[in-house]
Each structure stands twice: as structure tokens, then as C-alpha cells.
Amino acid sequence: MSVMTTTTDKPVLLVTGGSRGIGAAICVSAARQGWAVAVNYASNRAAAEAVVAAIEAEGGTAIAIEGDVGRQDGIDAIFAAVDETFGRLDGLVNNAGIVAPPQRVEEMTADRLDRLFRINVSGSILCASAAVRRMSIRRGGRGGAIVNLSSIAAVLGAAGQYVDYAATKGAIDTFTTGLSLEVVDDGIRVNAVRPGIIDTEIHASGGLPDRARALASTIPMKRPGTAQEVADAVLYLLSPSSSYVTGAILNVSGGR
């Protein structure tokens, strides 16, 4: 992918899976708060370019970057584009993730599990690895912040629907704790957000397009959350307002 070098004094944020839903809300909110934003997408170029256009229409700085976080060459391409375009990296949001159609555990296949864990877990770990190499003050970087997207499913288990997805998010919780301790001396803070039932397109991709509204009555706050409400939590954890927060996992779940 050919990109143009952009000189900016703004801090640079990479959001994986930034073209839709929660990721798109994070990108737009980050730009409003002064970040230059790298909007990563796996296949939907039009959606990513629409996010970039929305940011630029408000005077912000953004670029769309193609790359599949489930592949090492995709991750390499993402970070190479960030390097070439901005020459710096100050924040990473590991938002890219997938969910498979509802199944009981005894029905799950190795191929299903491999895809889920490759994208949701390995992809997040490898993206964080690449970000640490660029942000670590011990490697000549400026420090920075990483926010991982977990899920309240990591706590609740998602029995009868997405136990495998819940397991990937449990892994993200553990990874958040471990990485936060490992890179604290590198000037990097690492935190996570656990969304609950959020009204986004991910439910349709898992075969249950009406899931958020159907489950509203089971949520203590009696409604699904919005992508913007999750984005607000992520931006807090990226911001100087959370300068003494690392290793935290913030539930944005309406009380679930």
C-alpha cells in the first residue's frame, strides 16, 4: 500500500478494526480530542474511507490502512504504513475482533477456534508487540498507551452462544494485566475496556442481528449500550486524565 508522509505534531493513534461500530466511534472521538488517527480495516475500504472523510470534514487528521490482524504480513503492513505516514506512534487500540454464529462447545470445530483465537488473541498480542517496539522509552520512543477491547462475556461465559469468544476475551484480560506490568518501565500504560451488550453490527456478523434489543430486558440498565459510550471509556484510558491508571479493566456493560 502506497501512502504519503504526513508531518504532524499530534499524537498518533492506531485503531485496529476502526472502520465500523465501536472502532469507528473511537476513531472519530480520538480525532476530536487531538489525535492523528490511523483507521485500520481488513476488507471494507469504503467504510474506512468514510471514517477518514468524517474526521477530515471536522479538520482532523486521519488515514485508512488496510491489513488483517489475523496475519503476520497484515500486521507488518499496518505498522509499516503508520511508520511511513506519521513516523511515530503514541497509542494503540486493539479493537479488531470477530464472533462466530452461536454454537454449543461440543459443536465447535478446530477451524472455528483457530480463526477466533488468531484474530482476537494472537492479533492483539502481536499488534501490542509492534506498538511496544515503537513506543518504549527504552527503545527511543516517547511512551504511550494501549487499550485492549475485551468483553463482559469474559466474566459471564456466554454459555450456549459464544463460549469460545468469551474465552478469547478472557485471554485479553490476562494479557492486559501481564503486559501492563511488563512495560510499565517503558513508559507505556496498558488497560482494557469490557463492553456489554452494545448495539453494533457485530451481532449480525454472529447471526443474531436483533440480539442487542432482544436482551435489553436482561440488562440492569434496561437498554443496550452505544458505540459512543464505549469510545468515551477508551478515550479516557488513552488520555492524560488516566495517567495513574494501568492494568485496569473497565466494565461498560450497563451493570451486567
Closest CA to 2 of 47, 60, 65: 65
Distance CA 129, CA 149 (A): 16
Dist. CA 182–CA 169, nearest whole Å: 20
pLDDT of residue 3: 47
Active-site choice (41, 162, 165, 244): 165
Where in the chain are the domains?
A: 12-252
Cα–Cα distance measured from residue 213 to residue 73, given in angstroms and rounded to the nearest whole number: 38
The predicted structure's pLDDT at residue 105: 98
pLDDT score at 179: 99
The pLDDT assigned to 210 comes to 72
> Residue 202's pLDDT is what?
57
* Catalytic (active site) residue 165: yes
Cross-strand pairs, 146: 92, 190
Residues in the chain with pLDDT values less than 70: 1-7, 201-209, 211
Give the fold, CATH level 3, of 12-252.
Answer: Rossmann fold (3.40.50)
* pLDDT at residue 169 in the model: 98
Q: Tell me what pLDDT residue 1 has.
A: 41
Task: Supply the pLDDT for residue 147.
Answer: 99
**55 neighbors 64 (Cβ within 8 angstroms):** no
- Provide the phi-psi class of 219: left if phi over 0, else alpha when psi is between -120 and 50, else beta: beta
What's the grid cell of residue 230?
464505549
Q: Which residues contact 107 (CB under 8 A, 6 or more apart)?
A: none
- Dig out the grid coordinates for 29 from the structure: 472521538
